[in-house]
Structure 1
Amino acid sequence: MSYQYKFQRILTLKEKEKDEVQEMYRGSIEKFETVAGKLYECLKKKETLELHQESKLQGGLSVQDIRHHQQFITNLEKTISYFQDLVIQARNRMNWYEEKLIDMNVEVKKYEKMKEKDLERFLQNIQSMENKQLDEVSVVQYLKRGVR
């Protein structure tokens, strides 16, 4: 008599779904890190440019150069704003997948717990059947000895 869990297919399906969500979550983490890295680079570039412009202003700078630097900083700020939006979207996507993964983990744990309890019941049934058989054998042996 071998043990067979009646919801094994469902458990396998839920584990597969959980693995897929986990892969999507990993992908969203990588996307977030990539976009956040680009945002950091832009912020660093802006900071460096502003420091460079400030040091040049100390020594004197033409109006044309000031306009050029200001235009470049404005464009950089637009790029920073764009990457900030992307970071927010990536963070939201990452958080959504994290919540979904937590839900999937809970669901899989429920089925695993049901499987453990079912296995426990199965083993208890086997144990009780063995005990009944042993009782029957001992009664038969007792009756055989008593008849003599």
Structure 2
Amino acid sequence: MVYQYKFEKIMSLREKEKTESQTKYNLAVKEFETEAEKLYRMLKKKEELLDEQAERLRQGLSVQQVRHNLSFLENHEQLIQHYQRRVIETRNKMNFYHQILVEKNMEVKKYEKMKEKDVQAFMEQVNQMENRQMDEISIQQYMSRS
């Protein structure tokens, strides 16, 4: 008697969906990390620019240079805001794919648990059949001796 799990196709489909979800999640994590790294670099650059500007102000700057620096910092601040929005978007995307991955993982575990129980029931059935066959053989041997 050969064991055949009745939900094997569904289980393999769920495992495939889980693998695809894992791939999408990993890509979303990488995208988030990339955007976060860009934001970090922009914030670091802003900090360096502010330090540099403070040093220049101590040394003395013309009004034109101060305006130029302020304009440059405003543009830099807009870039930072852009990257902050991108980080938020990619974090939300990453969390969304993580939630899907968790759901797919739970589905696969349910099917694995069902398969485990089905295998156990199959093995019990096989053992019962073997015991019946052994009983029949024992009865036949007993009858042939008598």
> What TM-score results when the alignment is normalised by the length of structure 1?
0.97
Equivalence for 2:62: 62
Once the two structures are TM-superposed, the CA of residue 144 in structure 1 deviates from its matched residue by 1.4
Task: State the Cα distance separating 1:13 from its structure 2 match.
Answer: 0.3
1:76 equivalent in structure 2: 76
Q: Distance in 1 between matches of 2:9 and 2:140?
A: 44
1:34 aligns with 2:52: no
Percent same amino acid among aligned pairs? 51
Distance (whole Å) between structure 1 residues aligned to residue 31 and residue 15 of structure 2: 24
User: 1:136 aligns to what?
Assistant: 136
1:94-133 superposed Cα distances (whole Å, 9 cap, x missing partner): 0011111001000000001101111111111010000000
Deviations, residues 3-22 of structure 1 (Å, cap 9, x unaligned): 11000000000000000010
Give ranges in structure 2 of 5+ residues lacking alignment. Answer: none
Deviation at 1:143, TM superposition (A): 1.4
| Unpaired segments ≥5 residues, structure 1 | none
Which whole-Å deviations, capped at 9, do the CAs of 1:22-43 have from their partners, x for residues lacking one? 0000000000000001101110
The CA distance in 2 between the partners of 1:65 and 1:47, in whole Å, is 18
Question: How much is the aligned-residue C-alpha RMSD, in angstroms?
Answer: 0.5
Partner residue in 1 for 2:17: 17
**TM-score under structure 2 length normalisation:** 0.99
Give 1:37-116 correspondences, 5 Å limit: 37-116=37-116
Q: Using the TM superposition, give the Cα deviation of residue 142 of structure 1 relative to its aligned residue in structure 2, in angstroms.
A: 1.0
SS of 1:2's equivalent in the other structure is coil
Task: State the SS of the aligned residue for 1:72.
Answer: helix
